[in-house]
Amino acid sequence: MKKIILFLILSQCNLLFSQTILATYPLELKKSKEYKQIVNAENTSTHDVFVFASDKETVTILKYNSALFLTHQYSLPRPDLTYKLITGYSFNAEGNPTLYWSSEDLKKVMAVQYDLNSKTTVAILNYDLPFHKESIVCQFQENNTFYILSEKDSEQKMVLYIFKDGKKEEKILDFTSFKFQNKNTELLTMNQILEVCPIEKMETNQFNPLFKGTQKTKLYVLKNRLLLTFDHNFKETQTFDIDLTTFLIQEKRFLKPATKKQTGVSNSFYHEKKMYQITANEDELLFEIKEYQSGESIKSFTVSKTDTISFKNSPLWIQMNGQKPRELKNTAKFLQRLLFLNVGLSVYKTPKAILITLGGTNDGQSNYDLSTGINAAISGNFTDVAYDLLNYSGPTTVYFESVFDKKLEHSTQEQDPLAVDFISRFEKEHSEVSLPSIIRFKNYYILGYYDSYAKQYTMRKFTDGFERLNTF
């Protein structure tokens, strides 16, 4: 009877699998695929949404207001083909955009300022960035400004290139006064750490897949600040808070939950003023949530290999070589797997809850010799692991998911599908989608793309969970 009632209810409403069309615009991008590009962007001061679409000859700028009604459209010849990519953007006080076109290696940057009201190009400025004895870490947007971050190859310093209103500044971030150590308190240089554990940029308002969360050095772009976290040391997380106004650097250290053996694997993830830390070995798994400012513990869990993980909301999964995931029998099997992977976690806030994914990944290219791994698995009596190491060489992921409410109490509610799941499915099922560009806007995602069949730009809305349109 309950199933019949549920069917009748669902038949009276539309389940929208987050495929709502927000806008379309006629657009034909010419050939030379390598020059085609679409970038979606939000002016974070006005909440206008911009689309920058280019091909080999033309750049088209579309401006939508915060209600996503088209207010301006403008097409003009694109710059010199030496500047192949739209690599960043900024907005001035009047809401007009500057596009930063660059060569593929970012060593040449052209800043082009546009006036949408007069439909003219205001200024064109050229910059050479030699990156002398520097390695590029990443580029990012914050506070309507475009940044490029690099690290010095032989100094404990980073360089922040700042582009605003077409102007360029350089700021040196100096880490020479800070001490870096391994778990045995032996001194290291920052360069030694970054050579082995390169920086991975996290998305602070979007879902981060587990393979990003397993990286040992992470960069979080926050409101007017950067947070750099180091987890090369099994015993602690070392963080650096960088003010984007003063460029002062503040260090904090967070001891990780200690296992009885004082050996194993560990990592952390920062999310909304909280530090999430995981430590594991073949005997136990420890998980702790701390306040970032005070370092005080909010929640902690200790799980032995004979326990069931009380705070998990999914089975213990293992996925190998892109095959369908299969379930691991118990906690002991899960912990054995973790020892041969890069361990980590990812934290994501949905409209209803906080989703935490814990586990380990590798890319199928082990950092240690295969025979060493097999011998280690055999000596630990991990026969299943030894078998898989011998017979499978592709990527491996083991994980489980946990759901917490906004007060960080474990919840038993079932996790709805995520917007990223809907977007991935949509792209796989629609071959007309090309040049996708995804941004988080308000409380949902916008997928902007070129519809190669209809010859138009299309903007679609995707949400976490299901949207229901009641038709009673």
Rg (C-alpha) for the chain, rounded Å, is 24
pLDDT at 297: 97
For the chain, first and last CA: distance in Å? 21
pTM (global) more than 0.85: yes
d(CA 423, CA 310): 31
pLDDT at 393: 59
pLDDT at 17: 52
Record the tokens describing residue 213, joined without a space: 């969360």
Per-residue pLDDT of the chain (472 residues; tens, 9 = 90+): 333 333 333 333 334 455 689 999 999 998 888 999 999 999 999 999 999 999 999 999 999 999 999 999 999 999 989 999 999 999 999 999 999 999 999 999 999 999 999 999 999 999 999 998 999 999 999 999 999 999 999 999 999 999 999 999 999 999 999 999 998 899 999 999 999 999 999 999 999 999 999 999 999 999 999 999 999 999 999 999 999 999 999 999 999 999 998 889 999 999 999 999 999 999 999 999 999 999 999 999 999 999 999 999 999 999 988 788 999 999 999 999 898 899 999 999 998 899 999 999 987 655 444 444 444 444 444 555 544 554 455 788 999 999 999 999 999 988 889 999 999 999 999 999 999 999 999 999 999 999 999 999 999 999 998 765 443 3
pLDDT at 310: 95
Q: How many other β-carbons are positioned within 10 Å of the β-carbon of residue 146?
A: 22
Helix, strand, or coil (residue 371): helix
pLDDT at 141: 94
pLDDT at 321: 80
Q: Give phi and psi for 427, each to the nearest 5.
A: -65, -40
pLDDT at 9: 38
Of the candidates 219, 143, 236, the one whose C-alpha atom is nearest the C-alpha of residue 184 is 236
Query: Is there a contact between 462 and 421 (Cβ–Cβ < 8 Å)?
Result: no
226 Cβ contact partners less than 8 Å away, ≥ 6 residues apart: 149, 219, 220, 241, 242, 244
pLDDT at 388: 58
d(CA 79, CA 110): 8
Record the tokens describing residue 109, joined without a space: 């940057």
pLDDT at 385: 53
Query: Is there a contact between 410 and 403 (Cβ–Cβ < 8 Å)?
Result: yes
d(CA 373, CA 386): 8
